[in-house]
Structure formats: C-alpha cells, structure tokens
Chain A
Amino acid sequence: MNSQRPVNLDLRSIKLPITAYTSILHRISGVILFFGIAIMLYGLDLSLSSAEGFAQVQQCMSHPLVKFIVWGLLSALLYHLVAGIRHLVMDLGVGETLEGGKLGSKLVLVISVVLILLAGLWIW
C-alpha cells in the first residue's frame, strides 16, 4: 500500500451516515458499561452486606447526582441492549441492505430514546 496516500480522518469534516452514529454509540455505551460494572458491583456489595448497607444504598438513591449516574448507566445499558438485539436480528439476515440498515438504525434510536425516558421516569 502506498503510505503517501492522503488520509482524512477528521471527524468534523466527515458527514457520517446514521448507521455510523448508532455504531459509535454502541461502542461508547459498551465502554461506559465496562467501567460501570465497578459501580454496579459496589451497589450490589453494599446492598447485600447488611440491612444498614441496604438502607445506605436507598438513601444514596435519593441524591440527585446518584440518580443521574444510575440513569446514565441504565441509559447506556438500554441503548447497548437495543443496538445489540439489532445485531442479532441482522445476524439472522434481516435488515442487512443499505435501506434496511438505515431503518434499523432509526428504530434503535427511537426505541432506546423511549426506553431511556421511561427509565428516567422510573428513577425520578
């Protein structure tokens, strides 16, 4: 390969298709979840340690910042789940065309936004 070829990876000057946005969001949500496991395990550890620990977690959950973090994690989980299910559907050969891919991406965005809003209502 000729290494002198011009390369443009400046994301600000590239117009990405909708499928690229759902793909990168899938990756970002995955990284958030990977580091979020520590927070989830901390909550699980404390909530199962004793009745006092459980009450402490409940008390933490009434704090707006904690609610926001939990909502963020839940949002990452819900988006990753919906986008992941789309991958499994595509593995079955459904929605693999260009048009199908665009429609699938739109569905992922719409369904996950609805679920994320419902999760917000649930937490607050």
Chain B
Amino acid sequence: MVTNVTNFSRSGLYDWMAQRVSAVVLAAYFLFLIGFLIAHPGLSFADWSALFQQNWMRIFTLLALLSGSVHAWVGMWTITTDYLTPMALGKWATGVRFLVQAFCGMLMFVLFVWGVQILWGI
C-alpha cells in the first residue's frame, strides 16, 4: 500500500482540482507568451524589458510560477507514487520515493525563489 501523506492537499479530489486550476493558468500564460513572441518578430530588449516591468505581467508571471509549483508537485507526486513502488524497488521504495519527492519539492522551491528574484530584480 502506498501511503498518501505526501500528496498536495491530503485529498485526491483537491489535488485533482488544484491540477486543473493550475493547468488553466499555465495554459493561459504560455499561450500569451508565445503569442507575444509571434506578434513581435524583431523583439528588442526595450520591448521585452518593458513587458516584464508592467505590474500585471509580474503578477501574471508570479501566478504562473505558483501554478507551476502546484502543478509540478501533483504531477511528480503522481508519477513517483506510480513507479517508485515496492514492486519496482523492493523494501527501500518508500525511502527512495520520499527522497525523490523531497528533491522535486526542493528544486521547485529554488526555481520559485529564483523566479521571484528575476521578476523584482529588473
């Protein structure tokens, strides 16, 4: 049996919802960003920098980073609980899975803080 103390919200239903809501935010963000880049073929530093100096763009990007953190956690949790099991790894599975999940969480936290530094360091 796989214990579920490491999932995002202690509830599969909330995890499901968090994954969907964060997915919609991420879809909107990347479609906007790709659309912006397509609409500005000869993009200059001034235009690019001006975009990220807008407060709404910083908020939108921070929201995307937050959504990315939630989305990545739910996704990586699902994958690790599916594949890093006692059937695949034997008796060390729980420890290995926990360490991999801890690594994913740490990495996501570092990326999030880095993103905040980029956004407010302009």
Contact = CB atoms under 8 A, between A and B. Distances in A.
Interface of A: 7, 9, 27, 30-31, 34, 37-38, 41, 44-45, 47-48, 50-51, 54-55, 77, 81, 84-85, 87-88, 91, 122
A84 B104 CA distance: 21
The dominant DSSP class at the A interface is helix
Nearest to A84: B23
B106 interface: no
A50 B38 CA distance: 22
A91 B24 CA distance: 13
16 contacts: A9-B87, A27-B79, A31-B76, A34-B104, A38-B111, A41-B114, A41-B118, A47-B45, A47-B48, A48-B48, A48-B49, A48-B122, A51-B45, A54-B48, A81-B30, A84-B23
A85 B52 contact: no
Contacts of A81: 27, 30-31
A31 B23 contact: no
A38 B107 CA distance: 9
A84 B24 CA distance: 9
Highest count of chain A CB atoms <10 Å: which of B48, B108, B122: B48
Which 8 A/B pairs are nearest by Cβ-Cβ distance?
Answer: A54-B45, A51-B45, A45-B118, A30-B75, A34-B72, A37-B111, A84-B23, A41-B114
A38 B68 CA distance: 12
